Structure 1
Amino acid sequence: MQPHLYSLAPKPSSLEELIQKAKTFVAAAKAPATLKAYRNDWRDFEFWCREHQSPSLPSTPESVALYIADRASTLASGTIARRLTSITKAHQAAGFTNSPATTRHFVVGETLKGIRRTIGTAQQGKAPLLSTDIRRIIAARREDLLGLRDSALVLVGFAGGFRRSELAGIHLCDLKFSADGVVVTVRKSKTDQEGAGREVGLPFGASLDTCPVRALRQWLDRAAIREYASGQVHG
């Protein structure tokens, strides 16, 4: 009787499984918010094409130029540029390698240039908080544990220039205190989609009331959170 031979090599995946894996990785190449924006942009372009009895897939450079010219009255130039990218992505996904929405097409490129010259390219952002604003926020804080937490978040966020999502993603193991201050490890951010991470050093502040390091340690101590410095707290 012949003994059974068992291979330790992994079973090869079927072609269908490999295709599904590839689709999963392609979908993961963009952030969920970006994919959602692409879908919304494409739906708007499809709606416009139906209204004007023009095919959307595949479309033509002339139709795309008319579309962005129409939307220029309500959209920022940066959003219009993203619409072109969304239309290109939709055509590529459908197998049309020659997208009608690239600026290599003369009519599309010139229309976009005219839009930018007319409505500008500057993006309107929120006015930044200044140090006087931060002092007013800290002065108006609640005098309890939540108030200490809020103060720590505001001061650390301001000193490190962190986005809200970056603050929310910080864990205790990401804090390294020393005699000079604290080093915060930001593992992933909007500008770091590959997750390479970065370290931001926050020194002690000159003022006790607005020092991010002292505010952070005060909140962690009051909340009895002890593991924040990997067993080595200095200062």
Structure 2
Amino acid sequence: MRKLPLFTQNSVTSDNETVHAYLNAALSGNTWRAYRNDLQHFQVWGGTLPSSPEQISCYLACHAQKHTVATLTRRLASLSKFHNAKQWTNPVSTELVRATFRGIRNQHGMKQRQVAPAIKEDILAMVKNLQGTKGIRDKALLLIGFAGAFRRSELASLQYCDIEYVQQGMLIYLRRSKTDQAGQGRKIAIPYARGAVCPVIALREWLEHSGINEGPIFRSINRHGHIGEQAITSQSIALVIKERAAAAGLDATKYSGHSLRAGLVTSAAQAGISSWKIRQQTGHKTDAMLQRYIRDANIFVDNAAGGVL
């Protein structure tokens, strides 16, 4: 399947190649890959670009019982974005497609799968007694990922020059994130822990053990324990979380790369930390995206049934 650039010289009036390069850089790599995969899925099914309302409605109907509403929502968004970028008539915005999707949502709508948050107790169980090169790396990765509420892509992108040790612990400069498409970056504070397990000390031990003093912080390790030059992948981080969850006696199928970030939010909410302080750590712009974690964390606090049973 040929690569579909989001913007081409036909998309804009200017023929300046630099303009087109910047236009295609407007989306992060992960976002672009998601769009590309969605478009390819549509084409493999038999869809054509540009498409028609009838064709997209048939595509939705064909996959209504195979995929979640969330997945279909994302694929519609990708098709809409692509048509708009090409300045084609957008079939996704037609009433035929909208009505078809409303019917699918009403008939097949279901609760979106939500991964289990790796709360503080889970993290402590995962990092207990980790030894050896991979164990030292995984301990630092899990603790830093949790304390910083990092996404797995953010963890994978961290560089040695992004770290600054301070009296209270450590500052990590996050150059870019999913919600920071402009690349403004922000600093995340990782304090020394009061308990025996500390993310700052764990990361320092990993860097000393590995000898890393430049480039990616978290790197691939082969089966012989040799540390690679390349950064660990986002997929490998998710596998590390699952592997360590299983070793700790947890149900690994419930955990994913998002569990560290969700775990910090949930643990902080349970500890009574204010939402704006949580957002300062996570980078969320509003409370809306936090509410689902906070609601789950506090679901038994002042519970109505608990007051009468």
TM-score when scaled to structure 1?
0.71
1:45-60 to 2 correspondence within 5 Å? 45-49=42-46, 56-60=48-52
| Distance in 1 separating the partners of 2:158 and 2:28 | 19
Contact 1:78–1:121 (8 Å) recurs in 2: no
Cα distance in 1 for partners of 2:34, 2:73 equals 12
Displacement of 1:95 after TM fit?
4.2
1:100 maps to a residue whose letter is P
Is the contact made by 2:160 and 2:213 (CA closer than 8 Å) also made in structure 1? no
- Which sections of structure 2, spanning at least 5 residues, go unmatched? 1-12, 215-309
RMSD of aligned residue pairs (Cα, Å): 2.9
- Look up the SS of the partner of 2:203 in the other structure: helix
The match for 1:125 among 114, 117, 122 is 114
Equivalent position of 2:21 in the other structure: 24
- C-alpha separation between the residues in 2 aligned to 1:151 and 1:47? 41
TM-aligned CA distance change 1:66 to 1:21, over 3 Å: same
Counterpart of 1:168 in structure 2 is 156
> What is the aligned partner in structure 2 of residue 78 from structure 1?
70
Q: In 1, Cα distance between the equivalents of 2:54 and 2:133?
A: 61
Preserved CA contact (<8 Å) 1:41 1:86: yes
Q: 3-state SS of the aligned residue for 1:137?
A: helix
Task: Kindly provide the CA deviation profile for residues 12-60 of structure 1, in whole angstroms up to 9, marking residues without a partner as x.
Answer: xxxx99442232222212233433333343344345456xxxxx34443
1:184–1:200 CA contact under 8 A, matched in 2: yes
Instruction: Specify whether residues 99 and 181 from structure 1 end up closer, same or farther in structure 2 by C-alpha distance, changes over 3 A only.
Output: same
**Residue of 19, 29, 34 corresponding to 2:31:** 34
Distance 1:69 1:130, change over 3 A: same
Compute the displacement of 1:141 (Å).
0.6
Query: Identity, % of aligned pairs?
Result: 39
Q: 1:202 aligns with which of 169, 176, 190?
A: 190
2:138 to 150, 161, 165: 150
- Cα offset for 1:108? 1.6
Q: Which has the higher contact order (CA 8 A, sep 6+)?
A: 2
Q: How much does 1:196 deviate?
A: 1.3
Task: Letter of the 1:87 partner, please give it.
Answer: L
Alignment counterpart, residue 212 of structure 1, candidates 192, 199, 206: 199
Change (3 A) 1:131 1:70: same
Cα offset, 1:148, TM superposition: 3.0
Measured in 2, the distance between the counterparts of 1:184 and 1:147 equals 22
Q: What count of residue pairs does the alignment treat as equivalent?
A: 202
**How far did residue 186 of structure 1 move?**
1.0
**Alpha-carbon separation, structure 1, partners of 2:31 and 2:130:** 36
Alignment gaps of 5+ in structure 1: 1-15, 51-55, 228-235
Amino acid paired to 1:163: R
Match of 1:109 among 86, 91, 98: 98
Counterpart pick for 2:169 among 166, 181, 186: 181
